[in-house]
A and B are shown apart, each in its own frame.
Chain A
Amino acid sequence: MESAVNHAMIAEHELQHDVPLEFATEDGSLRVLGFWVFLAAEVVLFSCLFATYIIMHGMTAGGPTSKQLYDVKGFAWETFFLLTSSFTCGIATFEMRRGNKKGVIAWLLVTIAFGLGFLGFEIQEFVADVHAGATMQRSGFLTAFFTLVGTHGAHVSMGILWMTSVVIQIARRGIDSMTSRKMFIVSLYWHFLDVVWIFIFTAVYLTGKVI
């Protein structure tokens, strides 16, 4: 309780001095730094999944190959939705720094909507794959594919739940040094997921259409 009051006081103080609120307290600043450590660990996690996928790519065991399986229209839409959501999430951070509570909430909701759109396309793609007999247990290639892309999809799902909770907190508490820090961190997570997707559409989908 006391810390919430303290946060609000610091928020007032720092707003006058034009410091982004999420860095206004030592606590907030350290938590943002800590999140970069987490992201570095996530980079290593995904690199292992990418390495596995690249090696397993040709091991189709007589099942469908990536060229037969990947649908350009589907992954093009997924790419567009996730990239756009990363952009709208950036706008939400921009609005937060202007102290525009309604703007933050609106742009975060747009971001969530694009995130859900992305997930919709991805689920559709996975369902279509499975109906075509391309299940996770069919071949080494498909195991690696569903593990890599599925892990990313799970992160996106998690991000949507997380972002929703941040929207609720901002709606209830307004923008203070705590909610702004939470919003900034969830936005880092969201941009990071788009970075991972850049490498998925490059190394998995586009490469899978070439070789």
Chain B
Amino acid sequence: MAQSSAELHKKPSPQNHHHETFPWKHIVGYIISLVLTALAFGTALRLHLSTTMTLTIIVFLAVLQMLVQLFMFMHLTERIHGDTFQKIFIYTGVFFAAVVVVGTIWVMTFKSAVS
């Protein structure tokens, strides 16, 4: 813990970090998430669209809801000392995840040709 108070004084002050009195951001995020969830359930279970159409819509809704969590609940972009590195890490993780999932599905579409 080599923290000197002189060092602390040098730190940049945060951008407009005033105390809010009511958690609007969280409540809006929660309502958006509930709506997106309801839409996904409705699309999959009530609307009888084609399979491809249904899957495309619910995956899109899931990605939207993930963004709500990341930006409204997880404070991804509000670090005081810069959020560049945490964004690089998490985006890299998401990139590899997408490559693994999409790549696997794509490769396995060839299984009938091989077997």
Interface residues of A (CB under 8 A from B): 2-3, 6-7, 9-10, 13-14, 17-20, 23-27, 29, 32-33, 36-37, 39-44, 46-48, 50-52, 54-55, 72, 76, 79-80, 83-84, 86-87, 89-91, 93-94, 97-98, 188, 191-192, 194-195, 198-199, 201-203, 206-207, 209-211
Contact = CB atoms under 8 A, between A and B. Distances in A.
B19 to A, nearest CB: 6
A87 B51 CA distance: 32
- For B74, B92, B94, the residue with the greatest tally of chain A CB atoms inside 10 Å of its CB is B74
Contacts of A25: 1, 3
Contacts, number: 161
A40 B91 CA distance: 8
A104 to B, nearest CB: 13
14 contacts: A2-B1, A6-B1, A10-B3, A13-B5, A19-B11, A20-B17, A32-B86, A39-B89, A44-B97, A48-B100, A80-B37, A86-B33, A97-B19, A188-B74
B8 A13 contact: yes
A206 B69 contact: no
Contacts of A36: 85-86, 89-90
Contact of B97 (A43, A52, A192, A210): A43
Contact residues on B (Cβ < 8 Å of other chain), bracket: 35 or more
Contacts of B40: 201-202, 206
Interface string B100-115: 1101110010000000
B29 A87 contact: yes
B44 A210 contact: yes
Contacts of A26: 3, 7
Interface in B21-57: 23, 26, 29-30, 33-34, 37, 40-41, 44-45, 51, 54-55
